[in-house]
Amino acid sequence: MATSASYAFLDIQPLSKGHALVIPKFHAEKLNDVPDENLADILPIAKKIATAVGVPDYNVLQNNGKLAHQEVGHVHFHIIPKPEASDTQGLVIGWPQQKIEMDELKKYFEDLKQKLQ
């Protein structure tokens, strides 16, 4: 599948049947390096693929940098069907929740709001 701004194709090392990638045609290694107009159709394409695969549970994943498990130096979004509740198909992840004091969280939120303006 291709649009004027993006490509979509099946992953050659899938985690499950239907595992696909959506990539912008604009070359950039990290998401924050891609101009917004080159990202406009990424999620609509991901949604179409997720619907076409027909599995009700799936992950949409996008990694930035080696520490975040990015293996390919081009922005890409994974659509990974999760066909069963097991560790044999689909994405398998841990979620190492961090404890944070509410005052610290509020301060961080205020700092972020300033940067987003």
Known active-site residue 76 = yes
Residue of 89, 36, 93, 90 lying closest to 69 (CA atoms): 93
Among the listed residues 19, 69, 74, 76, the single catalytic one is 76
For the chain, the first-to-last Cα distance in angstroms comes to: 36
Cβ atoms of 60 and 79 closer than 8 Å: yes
Query: Residue 109 in 3-state DSSP?
Result: helix
Residues labelled as active-site residues:
76
